Amino acid sequence: MSAVAQVIDVNAAAETEQELTDGFHLVIDALKLNGIETIYGVPGIPITDLGRMAQAEGIRVISFRHEQNAGNAAAIAGFLTKKPGICLTVSAPGFLNGLTALANATTNCFPMILISGSSEREIVDLQQGDYEEMDQLAIAKPLCKAAFRVLHAADIGIGVARAIRAAVSGRPGGVYLDLPAKLFSQVMDADAGAKSLVKVIDAAPEQIPSKAALDRALDVLKSAKKPLIILGKGAAYAQADEEIRSFIETTGIPFLPMSMAKGLLPDTHPQSAGAARSTVLKDSDVVLLIGARLNWLLSHGKGKTWGDAPKKFIQIDIEPKEMDSNVEIVAPLVGDIGSVVAALNAGVSSGWQAPPASWINEIKARKEVNIGKMSQRLLKNSTPMDFHSALGALKQVIKERPDAILVNEGANTLDLARGVIDMYEPRKRLDVGTWGVMGIGMGYAIGAAVETGKPVLAVEGDSAFGFSGMEVETICRYELPVTIVIFNNNGIYRGLDTDPTGRDPGTTVFVKDSRYDKMMEAFGGAGYHVTTPDELKKAVDEAMNSGKPALINAVIDPAAGSESGNIGSLNPQSIVKKK
Ligand code: ADP
Ligand code: TPW
Ligand code: MG
């Protein structure tokens, strides 16, 4: 062989031996490098193989029946773990189905990343009608914290890193990552590919306010005669449980948990003002907000709910723009809750004066009256059950199983369960959040079961359940320890509406006496049909002891609920009466 021929031969061998990687593998490697263990999604062009390969590479891939539920699972994974939950969808319609969950995550300050495959850029941008054509990046942008598109395999590492950092740093939220179909089969040298990956260092850096800001806050708090601490879901998210408990117990200040902050300290804690909510909002003089916004859920910090007495607000939040958003914040503490509360703890460690006894006693007296009234209603054994008698049974369930995760949605089913069921541990109550959105139920239940391995009890209005009900198949397929209780009152709020013309069913009612338990049975799970509190308690216990998927259809008096639960006053009223 000539020398020249020999050289060519060697080069050819080197070329075939050169290791290659491609877009598929780089996306998976980038996620794995950053500790992502689970992907929630729905397969299809162009991401079917991405899901398959991710599964083969050891990532857990949970396939749903609808992207919104996969997105909700990812969002709640973010809330529970402080790592972004990943939702993977196909282009246009799949992307849009996931987008509601992304927007909801952003609104609730949960970190998640929606990764969607997309169509040919050249065709999309010329609007030539590609398969599932849509300018997804442009549509996602206003609905999330950040949106990125990766066009070159060599940029996948950077793209994934930016998405992760954007989701969890500062105020957490949703991020969109657009991956065009062509990217997945782009090939590059494996070594260069590996070098292009980025491990995100210190994704959510500690942020500590100045000494001046801390002193200012402590001075205001010290001046209070009737102090109150409000804990929001940001406080639950922060996982600063011990610091928060220590601050509250050292200062002796009463606390009021927002819905998803319940359990940060037990609802049965002597300092809990949960059962005296209206009194403490009205009568307090200094309010310390920890990871709670003064939005509609707190009547924007003003008006009748807050009474006439002058009030001073101190606020701990990672987002500077949150300060003064609704009322003046006299002592802003911009920083991460863990660091800020630790710094406050250092400031109150010696010689802190407990709040005046008159304030503590006022709250105690109000609590006793309200708890007394409530316990009467919980014990009622009426047939059909009303919400309270059914909830009496579930209150007992959570008392006996404080580590179970409670998912809750509906109107009456939500508002009454929130008030009745005491929570004992942090991040165990997951619900409709800032938007009051229906449809989070099964997604949150699946996400919570997958991320924590804990039993999940989903307490669902019959309407609320319908928004994500098909995922009972997913729950059965992955054999998740999820027990669903449907409060079946034949409809939305109540089951009694009629069409005044007599033509159709009323707008808020469903098929009477439906048997949701049969849906679960269709996929191999256990179904129960119960009509009394005792039967309900027994069925839930049996289901939760089994650790297997179960659905309990709990018959509730269709006349028991009120329009929109606790927020009926938000309904606009018509003043024109048609004959
Ligand atoms: P809730 O609905 O329970 O009242 P919100 O969702 O209104 O709670 O408020 C949560 C707040 O917590 C948001 O303003 C968010 O910026 C803030 N937050 C989230 N995580 C942290 C954190 N680690 N440190 C400080 N603030 C945080
Ligand atoms: C995405 C409006 C608020 S509550 C609710 C609806 C439809 C259902 C209430 O009926 P349910 O509960 O669940 O049976 P109960 O116990 O009172 O009978 N679409 C979305 N979100 C919301 N919030 C609505 C509609 C709504
Ligand atoms: Mg209902």
State how far the Cα of 550 lies from the Cα of 525, in Å rounded to an integer: 5
Task: State whether 133 and 242 are in the same domain.
Answer: no
User: Do 480 and 349 fall into the same domain?
Assistant: no
- pLDDT for res 1: 45
Residue nearest to atom 10 of ligand 2 (CA): 492
pLDDT tens figures, 317-332: 999 999 999 999 999 9
Claim to verify: residue 400 and residue 543 sit in the same structural domain: yes
Which residues form the domain of 320? 211-362
Q: For residue 411, give both structure tokens.
A: 């109107």
* Residue 93 domain-assigned (yes or no): yes
> Are 557 and 410 part of one and the same domain?
yes
Per-residue pLDDT at 577: 79
User: CATH number, domain at 349?
Assistant: 3.40.50.1220
Helices 156-168 and 23-33 pack at an angle, to 10 degrees, of: 40
Mark whether 551 and 405 lie in a shared domain.
Answer: yes
Q: What is the pLDDT of residue 381?
A: 81
Tell me, what's the pLDDT at 287?
Answer: 98
The rounded percent of the chain whose pLDDT value lies above 90 is 94
Q: Has residue 198 got a pLDDT over 60?
A: yes
Q: How many angstroms does the Cα of residue 509 sit away from the middle of ligand 3?
A: 8
Looking at ligand 2, which residue's alpha carbon is closest to its atom 3? 411
Q: Which of 296, 492, 508 to mutate to test the pocket of ligand 2 (most atoms within 8 A of CB)?
A: 492
Q: Which of 398, 525, 507 is nearest to 469 (CA)?
A: 525
CA of 306 relative to ligand 3 center, distance in Å: 31
Task: Determine the atom of ligand 2 nearest the C-alpha atom of 410.
Answer: 13
Q: Ligand 1: residues within 6 Å at CB? A: 108-109, 171-172, 232-234, 237-238, 258, 260-261, 291-293, 295, 297, 317-319, 322, 336-337, 434
Per the document, the length of the chain is: 579
* Dist. CA 565 → ligand 3 center (Å): 10
Q: Which atom of ligand 1 is nearest to the CA of 171?
A: 16
Model pLDDT for residues 531-545, shown as the tens digit of each residue: 999 999 999 999 999
Q: Starting from the CA of residue 340, give the closest ligand.
A: 1
The owner of tokens 């509906």 is 410
Residue 493 inside a domain? The answer is yes
Q: Of the candidates 367, 427, 429, which has an alpha carbon nearest to the alpha carbon of residue 395?
A: 429
Ligand 2 contact, 493 CB (< 6 A): yes
pLDDT above 90 (res 579): no
Judge whether residue 64 has pLDDT over 50. Answer: yes
Q: Clarify whether residues 81 and 48 are in a common domain.
A: yes
- Whose structure tokens read 């449907």? 486
Residue 398, number of CB atoms within 10 A of its CB: 26
**Amino acid 10: pLDDT:** 52
Q: Report residue 96 as tokens.
A: 């849009």
- Residue 532 resides in a domain: yes
CA distances from 534 to 396, 397, 462 (A): 11, 12, 20
What is the CATH classification number for the domain harbouring 457? 3.40.50.970
pLDDT in tens, 555-568: 999 999 999 999 99
The candidate with the shortest Cα–Cα distance to 111, out of 170, 64, 155, is 170
C-alpha dist (Å) from residue 330 to 102, 228, 287, 315, 448: 33, 15, 10, 8, 38
Is the per-residue pLDDT at 383 higher than 90?
Answer: no
Give yes or no: residues 68 and 175 share one domain. Answer: yes
Domain-located, residue 206: no
223-261 residue pLDDT tens? 999 999 999 999 999 999 999 999 999 999 999 999 999
439 CB within 6 A, ligand 2 = yes
Q: Provide, rounded to the nearest whole percent, the portion of the chain with pLDDT above 70.
A: 97
Residue 5's pLDDT is what?
47
What radius of gyration, in Å, describes the C-alpha atoms of the chain?
A: 26
Residue type, position 311, single letter: K
**Quick check: 12 pLDDT over 70?**
no
- The per-residue pLDDT for 506 is 98
Statement to judge: residues 389 and 527 lie in one domain: yes
pLDDT score for 536: 97
Tokens of 383: 């047939």
Among residues 346, 444, 488, the alpha carbon closest in space to that of 69 is found at 444
Per-residue pLDDT tens over the stretch 258-272: 999 999 999 999 999
505: CA distance to ligand 1 center in Å?
A: 42
Which of 302, 332, 362 is the C-terminal boundary of a domain? 362
Dist. CA 192 → ligand 2 center (Å) = 52
Does any ligand 2 atom lie closer than 6 A to the CB of residue 104?
no
Residues 578 and 452: their CA atoms lie apart, in Å, by 54
Q: Is the domain of 103 the same as that of 164?
A: yes
483 and 506 part of one domain: yes
Q: What is the DSSP string of 180-215?
A: EHHHHH-EEEHHHHHHH--PPSSSS------HHHHH
pLDDT of res. 94: 98
Residue 552 has pLDDT above 80, yes or no: yes
- Give the chain's domain count: 3
Please check whether residue 385 lies inside any domain of the structure.
yes
Section 11-23 average pLDDT: 76
DSSP 471: G
Q: Which of 150, 173, 196 is the last residue of a domain?
A: 196
Mean pLDDT (whole number) for 427-455: 98
For residue 29, pLDDT beyond 70: yes
Between 433 and 15, name the one with better pLDDT: 433
**How far does residue 75's CA lie from ligand 1's centre (Å)?**
15
Residue 3 reports pLDDT greater than 60: no
The verdict on the CB of residue 438 being under 6 Å from ligand 2 is yes
* Whether the bond into 384 is cis, omega within 30 of 0: yes
**Mean pLDDT score, 402-429:** 98
The verdict on 32 and 151 lying in the same domain is yes
Chain position carrying tokens 């969808």:
89
Residue 347, both tokens: 């400031």
Mean pLDDT of 483-487: 99
pLDDT, tens digit, 9 for 90 and up, residues 281-315: 999 999 999 999 999 999 999 999 999 989 999 99
Instruction: Mark which of 308, 327, 362 sits at the end of a domain.
Output: 362
Q: Is pLDDT of 491 > 60?
A: yes
Q: Residue 379 — very low, low, confident or very high, per pLDDT cuts 50/70/90? A: confident
Q: Are residues 152 and 288 in the same domain?
A: no
Q: Tell me, in angstroms, the distance from the centre of ligand 1 to residue 298's CA.
A: 13
At 160, the pLDDT band (50, 70, 90 cuts) reads very high
